[in-house]
Chain A
Amino acid sequence: MAQAAIELIGINKSFGAVRANRDINLEVARGTIHGIVGENGAGKSTLMSILYGFYQADSGEIRVGGKPVSIHTSNDAIALGIGMVHQHFMLVDNFTVLENVILGAENDALLKSSIAKARSELDRLEREYGLEVDPDALIEELPVGLQQRVEILKALYRGAEILILDEPTGVLTPAEADHLFRILKQLKDQGKTIVLITHKLREIMAITDTVSVMRQGTMVATRTTKETTVGELAELMVGRRVLLRVEKGESEAGAIKLSVKNLTVKDSRGVTMVDDVSFDVRGGEIVGIAGVAGNGQSELLEAISGIRHAVSGEVTLDGKPIDLTGKADPGELRDRGLAHVPEDRHHVGLVLAFEENENSILGYHDDERYLKGPFLDVDAIMADAKDKIEKYDIRPGNPRLKTANFSGGNQQKIVLAREMEQDPGVLIVGQPTRGVDVGAIEFIHKRLIAMRDQGKAVLVVSVELDEIRSLSDRILVMFAGRVVGERGPEATEGELGLLMAGVEHQEAAE
């Protein structure tokens, strides 16, 4: 085995009563890509923050290149050749690429020589690694993929030999993610060591040489990627067998619950995002809408849930028309039995600064069950929240906790519990498992299927093709604002992929 670039020996770290890292041992070989997987809250980020000097370990030893080191600040880590690409980019949005690169690594008190040096250095990095980016572009004007490239350049400019990437693909489109992986492989070929933190097992299988699995603050296993499987890793992460594909019976489609005819929606810039879309959703079936992000799915969801006004179209709910072009508001739709789990739970689905119990009735707070005269019935709300926490296994099970302190998966469960427990006739779900870890994905999928089996109409929009295929009874594919095809759940990934790319659509048009 090649010499170790990093060794972590017996690392412990507690935050108050929470032991974020327990006796962690990790060895990362030089010139390899080492994956670290684990559910949200397993302690991956804490461990890497210790390595990068953001936190100090309570006990344990860090060795870099075989030598014991002490890392007290990010500066120490940078000096040791450790670079980090954070999940939320550490960039100044209204600075240029150059300014961001030299920030903290300036030559002297004046900027002139630093800028000149950075310019030639970026040029060299661009040639060596194919990391192209306009040095004078403003960060806020760059797409997310390029912003991430700037983060990588920042690390390389500081002479990083070891690059830590924290959930790097969370914000990337599939194409951008592929590009990132090519860059990482190239960096590896040049002898750099890469540590990749993620909870997406597919990425681990695609790019890493070795993978370590963390669970609840401990390091549970390290495997050579070639010799392991997604199933084994998922099991190690969650601590029990995980169904990667939910089992479900045949659907028994009933009457049409939601009918959409000729719906057209424009976005705030006036661009037509949903173009003359028609479909029905029947009781007892899950209809999945697949498509590359940005092809009108978000606007479609917003229009049907009453958040965004449609330009034209006829929509009926349980056979009765609803006017989505101006009259209907989300509250009215809720009253008529349409529940909506929004795509963006942080901005639309939850108020993160509220306590869990408050979020668990949000939007239904004027329901008589939660009121005592003109006031909120706190006891009833708490009882209701506790009930939902139990049914949906929301952790930690404390209804008084601030919602921001729950992990992504548990936040999603809070929203799902709120909407599903209203017993709606129609449930609309956007990105049911975005930012949700493996164990919770399984739970959420089972719940959605249970809704279906109770005879509810379920509409799911997701950019995860696997999810669409495993959940849906019928799959609609959206491209450029139109529904370009309908397939059954047996459709292959390739077939759907072609539809999503608009290939068949273009051929048909010609």
Chain B
Amino acid sequence: MDIFIAIVQILDSTIRLSVPLLLACLAGLYSERAGVFDIGLEGKMLVGAFAGASAAAVFHSALIGLGMAILMSVAFAMVHGFASITHRGNQIVSGVAINFIAAGSTIMLGQAWFQQGGRTPALQPGERFEAIIWPGADAVRDVPIIGPVYSELISGHSILVYIAFLMVPFTWWVLYRTRFGLRMRAVGENPAAVDTAGISVAWLRYRALICTGILTGIAGAYLSMVQNGGFVKDMTAGKGYIALAALIFAKWRPVNAMFACLLFGFLDAASIRLQGSPLPIIGKVPAQFMQALPYVLTVILLAGFIGKAIPPRAGGVPYVKER
């Protein structure tokens, strides 16, 4: 039974750890499906995390925090759009620039506003998104198997966790069942076809980037207002890049993206869990090795196990109308 509890606990932290990845990955899906590579997911998440925690601390409201997180993240997405869509700049350069600006400005503004070494004030209850306990979760806790699964895995997460997972079917629906999704997929494959059909390529791509901004904003808010009780510098710690890797691993499909992010989340959770505890046969493994494991596996998975991932054909290429 102990093993079962351990497994449930690992799965529970798998969910918690995969949420920011999943939101960022879906964010990337919107922009890349529209033909705009976005290496700036990391930066936008960081900006969202900072704006969310700052606004929550100042206005004492988690919702205002979330709103600011989304607003600032979308603003950064629009900068990316302005550089790479309107001015047809290099999308990678623009994305990297956004990451640098985000890393620098969050620390600088944090220090200027709160004087806590770049941190934001610790968030009080009410300024964070609290866990939602589902009805009957406490009552069934002691029921074997179902009890822990319901009370640990399903119940007891913050609203943002549920939003993240609901975004998976929602994104699928948008992509494959709506006019916007059809056009967005088309513009990522052959923008000239969209243009000759009488649809604005630029406006379509901007709208996709707005979706990206909203999702990275939520991802950032989750980091600073759920997982942590405030903003810490560089708290995204490469999650934006892992999300991009997951996106490729998922071949730019929403349901695959969920499984890819759960896998990366699981590796993370397992490495935390196994740190310091001796493994059968091998014995004790250095903590650094366990921490490196998810990244090593990421490399292996991306190098060998995904088969041929075909990116959207117009990805990374600014659209120039030419005849």
Bound Cα distance A52, B185 (Å): 24
Please list the 4 inter-chain residue pairs (A to B) with the smallest Cβ-Cβ separation, ordered nearest first.
Answer: A104-B197, A75-B198, A90-B193, A74-B198
B contacts with A, residue count (CB < 8 A): 23
1/0 per position for B51-76, CB-CB distance to A under 8 A?
00000000000000000000000000
A109-B182 CB under 8 A given contacts A49-B323, A78-B198: no
Q: Quick check: is A332 within 8 A (CB to CB) of the other chain? A: no
Which of A95-103, A229-237, A255-263 lies at the interface with chain B?
A95-103
Q: Which of B94-102, B173-181, B209-217, B265-273 contacts A (4 or more CB under 8 A)?
A: B173-181
Tell me, rounded to whole Å, the shortest Cβ–Cβ distance linking B192 to chain A. Answer: 6
> What are 12 A-B pairs with beta-carbon distances under 8 A?
A49-B323, A74-B197, A86-B196, A90-B190, A92-B185, A92-B193, A94-B189, A103-B186, A103-B199, A104-B198, A111-B179, A112-B177
Q: Is A228 an interface residue (CB 8 A)?
A: no
User: With A and B bound together, what is the CA distance between A441 and B321 in angstroms?
Assistant: 31
Write the nearest CB–CB distance from B291 to chain A, whole angstroms. Answer: 39
B162-178 interface (Cβ within 8 A of A): 176-178
Interface contact A99-B198, CB-CB below 8 Å = no
A403 CB–B CB distance under 8 Å: no
Q: Which residues of B contact A110 (CB under 8 A)?
A: 177-179
CB-based contact B196/A109 at 8 Å: no
CA distance A187 to B192 in the complex (A): 26
Q: Look across to chain A and name the residue whose beta carbon is closest to the beta carbon of B190.
A: A92
CB pair B178–A109 under 8 Å, yes or no, is yes
Report, as a range, how many residues of chain A touch the other chain. Answer: 20 to 34
Tell me, in angstroms, the Cα distance from A100 to B182 when the chains sit together.
Answer: 9
Asked if A95 and B185 make an inter-chain contact with CB atoms under 8 angstroms apart, the answer reads yes
B199 in complex: contacting residue of A52, A86, A93, A104, CB < 8 Å = A104
The residue in B178, B186, B190, B196 that gathers the most chain A C-beta atoms within 10 A of its C-beta is B196
Check A102 against B182 for contact (C-beta < 8 Å): yes
A408 CB to closest chain B CB (Å) equals: 15
Of chain A, the residue at the smallest CB distance from B312 is A94
Residue ID in chain A nearest B197 by CB atoms: A104
Q: Which of B185, B190, B321 contacts A54 (CB 8 A)?
A: B321
- Check B179 against A109 for contact (C-beta < 8 Å): yes
Q: Which residue, A55, A84, A88, A111, has most C-beta atoms of chain B within 10 A?
A: A111
Cβ of A447 to closest chain B Cβ, rounded Å: 31
Residues of A within 8 A of B141 (CB): none
Alpha-carbon distance A100/B313, docked complex (angstroms): 16
Complex partner residue of A84 from B178, B179, B190, B196, CB under 8 angstroms: B196
For residue A108, CB closer than 8 A to chain B, the reply is yes
Q: Is B194's beta carbon under 8 Å from chain A?
A: yes
- Using known A-B contacts A74-B195, A104-B194, A104-B197, determine if residue A92 contacts B186 with beta carbons closer than 8 Å: yes
**B193: nearest chain-A partner, CB-CB:** A90
Contact B197 A106 (CB under 8 A): no
* Cα-based distance from A93 to B192 in the complex (angstroms): 12
Tell me the A334-368 residues at the B interface (CB within 8 Å): none
Which residues of A sit under 8 angstroms from B190, Cβ to Cβ?
Answer: 90-93
Instruction: Report the separation of the CA atoms of residues A391 and B193 in the bound assembly, to the nearest whole angstrom.
Output: 41
Not counting A99-B186, A104-B198, a sample of 10 additional A-B residue pairs whose C-beta atoms are within 8 angstroms of each other reads: A54-B321, A55-B323, A90-B192, A94-B189, A99-B182, A103-B183, A103-B194, A103-B197, A104-B194, A112-B177
Shortest beta-carbon distance, A45 to chain B, in Å?
A: 6
Q: Which A54-100 residues sit within 8 Å CB-CB of chain B?
A: 54-55, 73-75, 78, 84, 86, 88, 90-95, 99-100
C-alpha spacing A102/B321, complex, angstroms: 22
Given the known interface contacts A46-B323, A54-B321, A93-B313, the answer about A106 and B179 at a Cβ–Cβ threshold of 8 Å is yes
> What's the Cα separation between A111 and B190 when bound, in Å?
19
Q: How far is the CA of A94 from the CA of B182 in the complex (A)?
A: 12
What's the minimum C-beta distance from A110 to chain B, rounded to whole angstroms? Answer: 6
Chain A residues lying within 8 Å of B197, measured Cβ to Cβ, are 74, 90, 103-105
Contacts of B192 in A (CB 8 A): 88, 90
Q: Is the CB of B179 within 8 A of A93?
A: no
B124: min CB distance to chain A, Å: 42
In the bound complex, CA of A55 to CA of B322 (Å): 10
- List of A residues within 8 angstroms of B194 by Cβ: 103-104
- Would A93 and B196 be within 8 Å (CB), given that A45-B323, A99-B182 are in contact? no
Cα of A109 to Cα of B198 in the assembled complex, Å: 16
- The minimal Cβ–Cβ distance linking B323 to chain A, given in whole angstroms, is 5
Does chain B have a CB within 8 A of A114?
yes
User: For chain B residues 123-169, which have a beta carbon within 8 Å of chain A?
Assistant: none
Residues on the A chain within 8 Å of B321, using CB: 54
Quote the shortest CB–CB distance from A510 to chain B (angstroms): 45
Instruction: Establish whether residues B182 and A103, one from each chain, have CB atoms under 8 Å apart when the complex forms.
Output: yes
Q: Which of A55, A78, A86, A104 is close to B183, meaning CB atoms less than 8 Å apart?
A: A104
Complex CA–CA separation, A93 to B182 (angstroms): 13
Distance between Cα atoms of A431 and B277 in the complex (Å): 71
Residue in A closest to B188 when the chains form the complex, CB atoms: A92
CB <8 Å contact, B182 and A90? no
A-side contacts of B185, CB under 8 Å = 92, 95
CB-defined contacts of A52 to chain B, threshold 8 Å: 196
Docked CA distance A313–B136 (Å): 81
Q: Indicate if the CB atoms of A114 and B179 lie closer than 8 Å.
A: yes
| Given A54-B321, A90-B192, A95-B186, A73 and B179 contact (CB-CB distance below 8 Å) | no
Which chain B residues border A114 with CB–CB below 8 Å?
Answer: 179
Contact pick for B180, options A54, A55, A78, A109, CB 8 Å: A109
The docked-state distance in angstroms from the alpha carbon of A88 to that of B199 is 18
Q: Is the CB of A90 within 8 A of B179?
A: no
- Chain A residue nearest to B198 (CB atoms) is A75
Chain B proximity mask over A423-448: 1 for CB below 8 Å, otherwise 0: 00000000000000000000000000
Closest CB in chain A relative to B201 CB, distance in Å:
11
Q: Give the Cβ gap from B198 to chain A, nearest Cβ, in Å.
A: 3
In the complex, what distance in Å separates the CA atom of A92 from the CA atom of B186?
A: 6
Q: B311 to nearest A CB, angstroms? A: 12
Partner of B177, one of A54, A88, A93, A111: A111
Q: CA of A92 to CA of B187 in the docked complex: distance in angstroms? A: 9
Cβ–Cβ < 8 Å partners of B182 in chain A: 99, 102-103, 106, 111
Kindly identify, within residues 195 to 231 of chain B, every residue whose CB is under 8 Å from any CB belonging to chain A: 195-199
Name the residue on A nearest B192 (C-beta): A90
Of all chain B residues, which has the CB nearest A106?
Answer: B179
Q: Which of B178, B179, B180, B192 has the most CB of A within 10 A?
A: B179
A104-133, CB under 8 A of B: which get 1 and which 0?
111011111010000000000000000000
Measured between alpha carbons, how far is A75 from B195 in the docked complex, in Å?
A: 9
Q: What's the Cα separation between A156 and B186 when bound, in Å? A: 20
For B199, the chain A residues whose CB sits under 8 A away are 103-104
Bound-state Cα–Cα, A91 to B323, Å: 16
Cα–Cα, bound, A137→B149 (Å)? 44
- Distance of A159 Cα from B241 Cα, bound (Å): 47
Q: How far is the CA of A99 from the CA of B185 in the complex (A)?
A: 11
- Measured in the bound complex, the distance between the Cα atoms of B196 and A73 in whole Å is 9
Query: In the complex the two chains form, what is the Cα distance from A361 to B317 in whole Å?
Result: 30
By the criterion CB–CB under 8 Å, are A73 and B186 in contact?
Answer: no
Residues 172 to 195 of chain A near chain B (Cβ within 8 Å) = none
Residue of A nearest to B314 (CB): A92
CA distance A86 to B185 in the complex (A): 21
**In the complex, what residues of A have CB within 8 A of residue B189's CB?**
92-95
Instruction: Kindly name the residue among B183, B190, B194, B195 whose own CB sees the greatest number of chain A CB atoms within 10 A.
Output: B190
